[in-house]
Amino acid sequence: MNFNATLIGQSITFIFFVWFCMKFVWPPIMNALETRKKQIADGLAAADRGKHELELAAKKAGDNMRDAKAQAAEVIAQAEKRAAQIIEDAKTAAKEEGDRQLAAAQANIEQEANRARESLREQVAGLAVAGAEKILRREVNAQTHADLLGQLKAEL
């Protein structure tokens, strides 16, 4: 165990090695490690955030679905009500139309009947006058009895 200048040489070498390691080896590696640590942490945070957002979206979708269902049910109910009303309206309109047509037909019939009765009366009056004329031709002057005949005609 004899000491010599190797001691000094070793110290210088050691100091140089430590300096080199401190300058060129340690920082880049630690940098990479730190960056990776940060990236992983960021990635995990992003994943958490994504999960949370997914939950929110699912909840929102559920809400939307429920709303849509309620709306659809409402629309259907309204449509049904409207359909029922339309049928009801149609029924009423049909009935009214029927009534009206019935009334018109009745009026028509009555008119026809009146007209028939009128013409019948005319003809009966004519016949009666003709008959009476035949009977009275010999004894009754048509001119003298014309007002009487006209009166009778008006009465009939």
How far is Cα 52 from Cα 27, in angstroms, rounded to an integer?
A: 37
Nearer to other proteins by Cβ, of 25 and 57: the residue is 25
Cβ at position 70, least distance to other proteins in Å: 51
Cβ at position 60, least distance to other proteins in Å: 36
Nearer to other proteins by Cβ, of 20 and 72: the residue is 20
Nearer to other proteins by Cβ, of 28 and 139: the residue is 28
Cβ at position 53, least distance to other proteins in Å: 26
DSSP 121-154: HHHHHHHHHHHHHHHHTTTS-TTTTHHHHHHHHH
What is the sign of the dihedral through the CA atoms of 140, 146, 149 and 151? negative
Return residues touching other proteins (CB under 8 A): 1-11, 13-15, 17-18, 20-22, 24-33, 35-36, 39
**Residue 129 CB contacts under 8 Å (≥ 6 apart), including other chains:** 149, 152, 153
Cβ at position 57, least distance to other proteins in Å: 31
